[in-house]
Amino acid sequence: MAKLTIERLDLAGKRVFLRADLNVPLDGSTVTDDTRLSAVVPTIQHALGRGASVVLASHLGRPKGAPSPKFSLAPVAERLGALLAQTVPLAADCVGPEVTERAHALKPGEMLLLENLRFHAGEEANDEGFARELAALAECYVDDAFAAAHRAHASIEAITRFLQPAAAGLLMQRELEALTRILERPERPLVAVLGGAKVSDKLALVEHLLALVDSLVIGGGMAFTFLRALGHDVGRSLLETDQIETARRVLDTARRRGTPVVLPVDAVVADGLDSPTGRAVSVREIPADKMGLDIGPLTVAKFAAALKAARTVVWNGPMGVFEKPAFARGTLEVGRAVAGGQAFSVIGGGDTVAAVNQAGVADRIGYTSTAGGAFLEFLEGRTLPGVAALTDA
């Protein structure tokens, strides 16, 4: 690891400002998915178990720089307390005299959850004054919010100018190790599987991966733009007409590099998203009045064959509209193929994680990233502000 980690800090008697990603989905006052809460529990337990007190901070939703009961972290405090088997007190704010007093009164083994950081405009503005107030709450800084590491926000970047050392938490450390392994020292062949709706969302990623991978597998809605670039009619399927020439350029680059790009050979088509069933047709025979909503069985077999020889796999994005049962098979089968091979596999993005859970193979994935945007930006080769701000090891 090029960055200092929490395991190398002497935490006894210290107040730790722990920036986590507790941005979980809520149904009213109920947390509907506590994956991100469970992910940070080991870091909290590590700090408390070594005699630290913890000032825990996170954002939730987009309250636009002002307090909003809808975006209070109260439900998070309750659910996190259940996971930790201890009470998680919630402060009324994240800065101010009362919060400072409560933070400074913490004893070893105690913790305080700050209210939503984004209730203050200074958070997203990366404001130094706001960051200085946050820094005054603790004696060292730990960032375990890899999912927010691509944001230059006050609790992620500016705070480290006033609070040192700044270390990676256990989750951040695992994320960086898994992704660095893919980018810098993958066991080959390295295969990338990309899906999702739009080429434009992943263009930088596709172009960066072409220089790294041994083969690139493309499914999902974005595949139709590549198929159109090859001259296929795609009916009413999702198509980014302004990206056709870009897709053609990517395919030409891949051909020159000798990097195989594996595209669908058949698709499950239907009248629309609400159709109860679909039928598989060759990509050469997509009817003008139909839309492709999943990869077909021949493509599933083709993708599985491409994955079989892989020793490292990175996957982001579903193969179709998998939230609809009629169009879920392709994504689930690809998930099973990724999990069933010998490769070290890394997956990221909410839909992809949901897919491997739905397929029942989550326990056979090498590493599951809790991040979306940060996961993609790291794989694109970008410098993430939240990583760059950490103290060098």
Structure tokens at 243: 């990206």
Structure tokens at 84: 């930790």
β-bridge pairing 291-295 and 266-270: antiparallel
Per-residue pLDDT tens for 4-21? Answer: 999 999 999 999 999 999
Amino acid at residue number 309: A
Looking at per-residue confidence, does 95 or 28 come out higher? 95
What pLDDT, on the 0 to 100 scale, is given for residue 312? 96
Per-residue pLDDT tens for 152-196? Answer: 999 999 999 999 999 999 999 999 998 988 888 899 999 999 999
Q: What is the 3-state secondary structure (H, E, C) of 203-228?
A: HHHHHHHHCCCCEEEECCCHHHHHHH
Distance CA 207, CA 7 (A): 36
pTM over 0.95: no
* Range from 1-5, 52-56, 69-73, 318-322 carrying the lowest mean pLDDT: 1-5
Instruction: Assess contact for 55 and 137: CB atoms under 8 A.
Output: yes
Assigned superfamily of 178-379 = Phosphoglycerate kinase, N-terminal domain (3.40.50.1260)
The whole-number average pLDDT for the span 320-348 is 95
Q: Name the packing angle between helices 244-257 and 199-210 (round to 10°).
A: 10
The continuous run of DSSP H or E covering 22 comes out as: none
Q: Under CATH, what is the fold of the domain 6-171? A: Rossmann fold (3.40.50)
Nearest to 316, CA basis, from 187, 217, 171: 217
DSSP-derived letter for residue 275 is -
Amino acid at residue number 391: T
What pLDDT, on the 0 to 100 scale, is given for residue 1? 54
Active-site annotation, residues: 36, 198, 350, 373
Whether the upstream peptide bond of residue 108 has omega within 30° of 0, thus cis, is no
Report residue 371's pLDDT band, with 50, 70 and 90 as the boundaries. Answer: confident
Nearest to 28, CA basis, from 78, 98, 87: 78
Strands (E) across 213-331 are located at 215-218, 261-262, 266-270, 279-282, 291-295, 312-316
Task: Give strand pairing partners of 280.
Answer: 268
Residues of the chain with CATH 3.40.50.1260: 6-171, 178-379
Burial class (CB in 10 A: 0-12, 13-18, 19+), 229: buried
Instruction: Assess contact for 319 and 295: CB atoms under 8 A.
Output: yes
**CB neighbours of residue 361 within 10 Å:** 18
Average pLDDT, the chain: 95
What pLDDT, on the 0 to 100 scale, is given for residue 187? 95
